[in-house]
Structure 1
Amino acid sequence: MTATDDSLSLLSDLVAKAKKAGADAADAVHFCSTGLSHAQRLGAPERLEREESQDVGLRVMLGKRQAIVSSTDTAPDSLDELVERALAMAKVVPEDPYCGLAEAGELATTVPDLDILDAEEPAPEVLIERARACEEAARAVTGITNSEGAEASWSRIDIALVTSNGFARGYARSGHSVGVSVIAGEGLGMESDYDFASAVYGGELDDPAAVGRRAGERAVKRLNAKKPPTRRLPIIYDPRVSNSMLRHLAGAVSGPAIARGTSFLKDRLDSQVFAEGITIVDDPHRPHGLASKPFDGEGLANRRLNLIDGGRLTTWIMDLSSARQLGLKSTGHAARGASSPPSPSTSNLYMEPGSLSPAELMADIEDGFYVTGLMGMGINGVTGDYSRGASGFRIEKGELTTPISEATVAGNLKDMFLNITPADDLVFKYSANAPTLRIDGMMLAGN
């Protein structure tokens, strides 16, 4: 019997107990995680940790009342107590007219193989060597004066879901990562920067030394940064920050925000919200994807969706509850924890690349700003107003020149989305990915 079989057996018994005790419906989740990480600073080990944990979550429903309880103890007596607590809570909470399990016909009947599990656990020595190589390469860059440390890690999580209306499936996923942060310069002129890499399979992880060199070179390039004058100009977003545009979109098209009427895109379904030719995809079935999953947190089948197709907004991101509020069908985007009800979330979200290289994208910019770092969350989700601290480089005659810090970039997401031009350099590095992006007509505030 596999670990997934054990989890499904445990959850099936738990759901059966809840039904026998009086629940009208129930579902349960089991998360088993294992992790190994090593951190070092200035060549000296700081930490080598192994973590193993498990969480069980039970949701019960009495009519239109639901309650969620969780535990890290899977002993039979503890699970009996879990059922008792859940039912006691469900009897006193307010009714939720939109709660409930999926209809039987909505449940996933097959689970695709997404190849998201590296079954081999790396030895501690492997992680130690990755962190060492990463930090040494970063510190070897001329101009680097200190290190904030390097870390390498590996993790595996096994996820199982059982519902009282017939769903019982599980899957496992893994992740490897390595990263470093270093400091360049001296005294008041110091600057820091970082880089990292992550992958499902250890063999697909970027060379740790290359990651370290990039971190060191980025920190050195930031030396002697200046505060810019305030003006309106074209802005280029580096891929390390361009994915923030996708996250702002995801928040604006989330089912709960639309149901509450608190999104600046609430009336824009089937309308042009991005420039023509822009396509933004959410693909939970991407092989080796960092956020891939074969079904959603409510047991529904999920699939690749173009949220933005040719610049047009095609759908909201919905779980069952928000879909019911909107009189629609779930898009299979439910995410789930052990101690909270399902809520909608994207998976592998990305913007398809354009046709111009990053150099071509900014070749005609006489005066612009290339953003490599963003700070703060100055986003008004109701109006779309946008204002964030930023750092990066001045663009002069199509070339990067002076490093810039203590700046603010501002605009409105409705206008920014319509003025985005993507480059051709899409790389899948995060759970949300975009190529280099150009947005004309934004405000840069400094002196």
Structure 2
Amino acid sequence: MSKAAAKSSSAAARTSAARTAATPKARTGHLPVRYLKGKPADDRPLFDYTRADFEELVRDALRQARRLGASAAVAEVSESSGLAVTVRKGKVETIEQTRDRGLGISVHVGKRRGHASTSDFSPQALARTVQAAYDIAAITGEDPYAGLPEKKFLALGEHDVSGLKLFSPWHVSVDEAIELAREIEAASFAVSSGIANSDGASVSVGHGHFLSANSRGFSGGFPHSRHTLSVGPIARRGRDMQRDGWYSSARAAADLADPVALGRYAAERALSRLGARKLSSRKAPVLFEAPLALGLLGSLVQAVSGSALYRRATFLVDSLGRQIFPDHIDIEEDPFIPGAMGSGPFDDEGVTTHARDVVSGGVLQGYFLSTYSARKLGMKTTGNAGGSHNLRLSSRLTKRGDDFARMLKKLGTGLLVTEVMGQGVNYVTGDYSRGASGFWVENGVIQYPVEEITIAGNLADMYRSIVAVGNDELTRGTKTSGSILIEEMAIAG
């Protein structure tokens, strides 16, 4: 390659990388209306069982547990249906249609607990399942912390979840799902001849409903949905091949990303990685792209969750009320955001959920506790059996103009990380060491992609060294954050 051609190629790579660093176009636009007009292909409902059917099943299970001599019991019954289609290079690779159901019961005999489950809802199978749970409890060792939540913590009474918009059926046919997946993948191939291959594009549709009840008077459940579009294009230049991807997930299909925008953005990400280099070992500021910033938030949840705390297997043991972030960082938990994945009026134990500040001004205000872990710690449940509810990390320093381009300016000269690999997080010590790839940035401008490097630090130091949080917020699952800038980390080439 001539020097002029090499220079042109390098400039193209930087331009593509700059596009990647911009706020993703895949976060704008919505699914075309033609994919939202579907109706059920036949008269068969989404579910085989009604709410009334579920109520009868859990009543019977609890009644049988009491008859056997259980001091307390909790039963949950659920059902789900789904469709998943994958297309690769325009050809259908997989079509999966699922219908699942299950009933589980936990029986308490004093401080002993037994659990059993079944997918057979016949009276005979239900009786055998309850008996099995009771028999297990009878031979299990006593645990002084076992037992149902105290009645005062339970979400008793009726639960109106209509305002939370947790269930939005999507009656897309198999043929329509295939067409949509092809449209997403075709959009990625159309970006450049450099998109030489694909790991495929997928469309998944999921619906479910459940009912949980216990012997202390709690009974609650609701239908829910989750739909996802994804694509994984592969870019090639000579012998260099790079893969990247993107996805969009929502409870309502109307909130999914535009398929063309999604395919194009995924392709731009893959192309921007071509020509990646290694870095020499150094220390430098590190900017975590928003999807990876969510991983840092997830690490916090794990470190201050009950099971880690009572086992003292976390670097944040006894951290309640302590300054663990800079004073400009806040983390809020809100279980009542309409359409959000982590919304709901109660947790997996039926405990009432509450909006709260987890971190305020950098100070840890609360843990994530179930009834069991709270008792082990001599505390009260926080309504987090089953996990966190809609966490949002923010900075009081963030301004309206702090988009991703501005965050690159704040980074100055350092590393933009767009992918991490491996499980290199030690929650006992907080040590953090992950394989990484991304882009080297100088004076706020992306220079070239990098790969085969390692970033290392300690989560306690990383949290305290957060310099800025972007307003390029991304929500995935139950967590929301913009990009996060860490003052300095070790980089090994």
1:334 aligns with 2:385: yes
Identical amino acids, percent of aligned pairs: 36
Task: Assess, with a 3 A threshold, how the Cα gap between structure 1 residues 264 and 124 changes in structure 2: closer, same or farther.
Answer: same
- Equivalent residue, structure 1, for 2:394: 352
Q: Which runs of 5+ in 2 are unaligned?
A: 1-47
**3-state DSSP class of the match of 2:474?**
coil
Q: Can you list the C-alpha shifts for 1:225-255, whole angstroms capped at 9, x where unaligned?
A: 0011110000001112110111110011001
- Equivalent residue, structure 2, for 1:280: 331
Aligned length: 437
Deviation, 1:120, is: 4.1
Q: How far apart, CA to CA, are the structure 1 residues paired with 2:303 and 2:109?
A: 32
Where do 1:382-421 residues align within 5 Å? 382-420=428-466, 421=468
- Equivalent residue, structure 1, for 2:196: 145
Q: How far apart, CA to CA, are the structure 2 residues paired with 1:192 and 1:364?
A: 28
- Equivalent residue, structure 2, for 1:127: 177
Where do 1:80-159 residues align within 5 Å? 80-109=127-156, 110-113=158-161, 114-142=164-192, 143-159=194-210
Q: How far apart, CA to CA, are the structure 2 residues paired with 1:282 and 1:162?
A: 25
* TM-score normalized by the length of structure 1: 0.95
Q: How far apart, CA to CA, are the structure 2 residues paired with 1:328 and 1:155?
A: 37
Q: How far apart, CA to CA, are the structure 1 residues paired with 2:410 and 2:337?
A: 36
Q: How far apart, CA to CA, are the structure 2 residues paired with 1:166 and 1:122?
A: 39
1:40 aligns with 2:40: no
- Equivalent residue, structure 2, for 1:260: 311
Q: How far apart, CA to CA, are the structure 2 residues paired with 1:305 and 1:132?
A: 43
1:302 aligns with 2:358: no
1:224 aligns with 2:275: yes
Give the RMSD, CA atoms, in angstroms: 1.5
Q: Which runs of 5+ in 1 are unaligned?
A: 336-344
Q: How far apart, CA to CA, are the structure 1 residues paired with 2:250 and 2:225?
A: 8
Q: How far apart, CA to CA, are the structure 1 residues paired with 2:135 and 2:238?
A: 60
Task: Assess, with a 3 A threshold, how the Cα gap between structure 1 residues 121 and 232 changes in structure 2: closer, same or farther.
Answer: same
Deviation, 1:112, is: 4.3
Q: Can you list the C-alpha shifts for 1:1-35, whole angstroms capped at 9, x where unaligned?
A: 97222112211111111111111110011121111
Q: How far apart, CA to CA, are the structure 1 residues paired with 2:226 and 2:140?
A: 38
**3-state DSSP class of the match of 2:221?**
strand
1:311 aligns with 2:362: yes
Q: Can you list the C-alpha shifts for 1:105-158, whole angstroms capped at 9, x where unaligned?
A: 221134242111003432223322221111000111211000111100110111
**3-state DSSP class of the match of 1:91?**
helix
Runs of 4 or more, structure 1, over 3 Å off, are: none
Q: Which amino acid aligns with 1:268?
A: S
Match for residue 379 of structure 1 among 425, 447, 451: 425
Q: Which amino acid aligns with 1:71?
A: T
- Equivalent residue, structure 2, for 1:368: 414
Q: How far apart, CA to CA, are the structure 2 residues paired with 1:350 and 1:178?
A: 23
Deviation, 1:200, is: 0.7
Deviation, 1:292, is: 1.8
Q: Which amino acid aligns with 2:53?
A: D
Deviation, 1:359, is: 2.4
User: Which of the two has greater helix per residue?
Assistant: 2
- Equivalent residue, structure 1, for 2:106: 59
- Equivalent residue, structure 2, for 1:7: 54
Q: Can you list the C-alpha shifts for 1:242-284, whole angstroms capped at 9, x where unaligned?
A: 1011111001100111111111111221011011121112222
Decide whether the 8 Å contact of 1:111 with 1:295 is kept in 2. Answer: no
**3-state DSSP class of the match of 1:235?**
strand
* TM-score normalized by the length of structure 2: 0.86
Deviation, 1:79, is: 0.6
Decide whether the 8 Å contact of 2:287 with 2:411 is kept in 1. Answer: no
Q: How far apart, CA to CA, are the structure 2 residues paired with 1:46 and 1:37?
A: 11
Decide whether the 8 Å contact of 1:295 with 1:332 is kept in 2. Answer: yes
Deviation, 1:52, is: 0.2
Match for residue 78 of structure 1 among 121, 125, 145: 125
1:235 aligns with 2:286: yes
Deviation, 1:187, is: 6.2
- Equivalent residue, structure 2, for 1:342: none
Range 218-227 or range 272-281, more displaced? 272-281
Decide whether the 8 Å contact of 2:291 with 2:474 is kept in 1. Answer: no
Q: How far apart, CA to CA, are the structure 1 residues paired with 2:141 and 2:247?
A: 45
Deviation, 1:46, is: 1.4
Match for residue 164 of structure 1 among 215, 221, 226: 215
Q: How far apart, CA to CA, are the structure 2 residues paired with 1:34 and 1:415?
A: 44
- Equivalent residue, structure 2, for 1:68: 115
Decide whether the 8 Å contact of 2:286 with 2:411 is kept in 1. Answer: no
Q: Can you list the C-alpha shifts for 1:267-322, whole angstroms capped at 9, x where unaligned?
A: 22101101112111222221100222221111111022221111110111000000
Q: How far apart, CA to CA, are the structure 2 residues paired with 1:96 and 1:126?
A: 53
**3-state DSSP class of the match of 1:159?**
strand
Q: Can you list the C-alpha shifts for 1:407-428, whole angstroms capped at 9, x where unaligned?
A: 1111111110011121112132
